[in-house]
Amino acid sequence: MSFKFNPNAGEEKKFVSKAGTYQATVSAAKIDWLPPRSDLMMRLTFTTTDGEMCFGEIFAKPDKDGGHSRLESFLASTATEDEVKRYIDSGNIEVDEDFIRMISERSVGRHLKIKVTERKYLKKDGSEGVSYSASFFNRLPDGPEGPF
C-alpha cells in the first residue's frame, strides 16, 4: 500500500459553518464519474479569505432546462479576460471530458465569490445533520486573478 504525503496533514482544518457569500480561491479541483449513472462532474474545494474550506460540485450534464447554468457561471467567474474572449469567439462549447478537465485544471488558484447554501440531511444514526456547499458562483470586480 502507498499514499501521497501531505505536509499539511497535521494542521486543523476549518470549514464554512454558515450559509452566506464568501470571497474564495479554488484550492483544489478534480473530475470524477459519479455512479450509478456515470455522470461526469467536477469536485471543487474552495478556501475563503478567512481560511475556511468549502466544497462544491458541478455536473457536466445539462440542467433540467437543457442549459449549463452552474458550469457557465463557474466558467465566467474564473475566466481571465483573454479566456472570456476565446470562449465567446468559439461559438458553441462542447461539454465533454476534455473540456471539464481543462476547466478544473485551470481554475485552481483563481479567485471568485461563492454563495454557500445549507442542506439538511439524515445521518446514518437517524439524527439530522447540516452540510454547507458552494452552490452559486460570481466574478470578483478585479477578476479571477485579482488580489485578496
In a domain, 67, yes or no: yes
In a domain, 58, yes or no: yes
Query: Among positive and negative, which fits the CA dihedral 90, 45, 36, 63?
Result: negative
In a domain, 69, yes or no: yes
Phi-psi region of 121 (alpha: psi -120 to 50; beta: other; left: phi over 0): beta
Over residues 81-134, the pLDDT tens digits come to 999 999 899 888 889 999 999 999 999 999 999 999 999 999 999 999 999 999
In a domain, 95, yes or no: yes
CATH number, domain at 31? 2.40.50
The domain tally of the chain equals 1
The pLDDT of residue 67 is 86
Mean pLDDT of the chain: 90
Higher-pLDDT residue of 6, 86: 86
Average pLDDT over residues 35-61: 91
**What are 1's three cell numbers?**
500500500
In a domain, 108, yes or no: yes
The residues pairing with 112 across neighbouring beta strands, listed in sequence order, are 24
In a domain, 27, yes or no: yes
**What are 31's three cell numbers?**
473530475
| Domain span holding position 94 | 15-138
In a domain, 145, yes or no: no
**What are 116's three cell numbers?**
454557500
Average pLDDT over residues 68-80: 93
Residue 68 DSSP one-character state: -
In a domain, 146, yes or no: no
